[in-house]
Each structure stands twice: as C-alpha cells, then as structure tokens.
Amino acid sequence: MKITKFTGVPALKRQLDRHPVYGAVRNIDDLRTFMEHHVYSVWDFMSLLKYLQRDMAPTAVPWMPTGDAAVTSAQRFINEIVVGEETDDGLPDAKGNPTFISHFDLYIGAMEEVGADTAPVKAFLKSVQRNGIEKALKIAKIPEPARQFMQTTFGFIGTEKTHIVAAAFALGREQVIPGMFRALLADMNISKRKAPLFYYYLERHIHLDDELHGPLSLKLLSHLCKGSDTRLRAASKAGCQAIEARIAFWSGVNAALPSTVKAKARSKK
C-alpha cells in the first residue's frame, strides 16, 4: 500500500515539507528553543509505538503462537521498529565499543550538548509518572505548542482503535519524518561541528525511516485496514489530523524562536 491511497495525506505532507521553521533555525539560541519544544514529540512518538506493540505483539506467559502468518508478519514489523527506536545504535564509546540508546535519550544528550534546557521535559515525565498523562498535560510547565501536539497524540491513543493509532504513527510520523529532517539539515544555519549529536539523531532517523521503518509502518497499516474501505477512510482522516497537528506545532515553534521574535519586534518599530 502506498501513501497515495490515503486521501489528503500527500498534499499535507508536501505542505509540511515546505514549512518555514526549517530555515528559521539560524543560531544556537534558535536550536535550543527548537529542541526544547521538539523533545516532547520525540517522547510521545514512543507512546504510539508502544501502544501498537502492546496490542499487536503483547507479552504474555505462557506464550501462545498466533497460528496466522499475517499476524506474525505484523508482529515482526512492529518489533523491528521498537528495536530501532528503543535500543538503536549509539555512537561508539571512548574505547570504540558499540553502544545502544533510545532515540529519546539520544535527543536528551543532543540537547545537553548544545546547552538546551532539559529540566522541563524531565519534570513533565515525573508528573506523568505521578499523576498520569491526562493530568500532567494540564498542569506541567511545558511549551503550549508541545502541549497541544501531545494532546492530539494521546487523543489518537484514547480511541483505542489500533488502525487509528497505526495511521497516526505511519502517516503522521514515519512517512513524514525523513522529509522534515532533510529540510532541517538543508535549511538550518547550524553546522555539524556545533551540534554533532543532533546531526546524528537527524541522519539516523532519515536512514531508518526511509529504508526500514517507513515501509514497515505502511505494511502494518495495510494489514490493519485489511481492505476495508471504512478503515481506509478512518486511517486517511487520522493521518491528515496527525500531519495538521505537526504543521500547527511547527508554526508554534517557529513563532517562539528568538530570531523570529527579534525579527517581529524590529518590524514593529
């Protein structure tokens, strides 16, 4: 199944690929602000993924076979994606030994490398543990664009419909991330020397999502829709909503960047 099967998604993807935020990151202060917003979408990505794994490849003792080749294939797809996202290859350690790291922890390291503030997102995660996600989203001190974006994400999860969550994941994340990150690498005014871990994060995602996770996520979604026109329409709608939420998120991030704020102030003089 190709992305063109999902009505409205390709046009929104093109709009997302051209978002002005990618070229608005002009200096380290902008990058810090960008990352202090973006880190929340790095985190909530995993909740979409783990919902799908819990539903499609649950852990249970005693284990039982599915007896269904299509279901087993879908389990393989989701487990492969989890391995890459939750325990990916990190940069070699000081002795050249391989390391493994989640993409969220990699992103936190990239934030620390450039001096971005990780305290708010860490406090938010503690609030989630203490209070649950619904309350944490209301009380935690997080950027408003990130709050609204996560509310959309957990709205998909709250439907408890696996094909809807898979659509948000495949169409709103895996299919659009490579284009977004390529645009960011091409347009932002930050060199690899200034932010090596951030570059590694972006380049790693482009490689994995283009060559592995993107195709696997579409196979997974195709399996869940099972040729049903009703499910296909619902998946298309969810995919569009997910991309629209990302566009709104990027617009909020763009407005918060120091360079954007300064330019707006100058224009009013």
Q: Which pair of tokens denotes residue 195?
A: 């932010």
Using the predicted structure, report yes or no on whether residue 264 has a pLDDT greater than 90: no
CB 136 within 8 A of CB 157: no
- What pLDDT, in 10s, does the model give residues 153-180? 999 999 999 999 999 999 999 999 999 9
Structure-token match 């829709």, residue found: 225
Model pTM score: 0.95
127, HSE (Cβ side, Cα atoms, 13 Å): 16
Length of the chain as a residue count: 269
The rounded mean pLDDT for the chain is 95
CA 167 distance to own-chain centroid: 13
Residues ≥6 apart with Cβ < 8 Å to 122:
none
226 vs 256, residue with greater confidence: 256
Positive/negative CA dihedral, 197, 203, 208, 209: positive
For the residues of 60-76, what is the DSSP string, one character each? -SS------HHHHHHHH
CB atoms near residue 147 (< 10 Å): 18
Mean pLDDT lowest for which of 74-78, 140-144, 264-268?
264-268
How would residue 253 be classed by pLDDT, with cut points 50, 70 and 90? very high
Q: Which pair of tokens denotes residue 268?
A: 């009013």
CA atoms of 152 and 154, how far apart (whole Å) = 6
CA atoms of 183 and 175, how far apart (whole Å) = 14
Q: Which pair of tokens denotes residue 132?
A: 């649950």
Domain ranges of the chain: 3-57+69-260
- What pLDDT, in 10s, does the model give residues 9-50? 999 999 999 999 999 999 999 999 999 999 999 999 999 999
Q: For position 130, what pLDDT does the model report?
A: 97
Prior bond of 196 cis (ω within 30°): no
- What pLDDT, in 10s, does the model give residues 126-145? 999 999 999 999 998 999 99
Q: Which fold has domain 3-57+69-260?
A: Heme Oxygenase; Chain A (1.20.910)
Q: Which pair of tokens denotes residue 30?
A: 């902008």
Average pLDDT over residues 215-226: 92
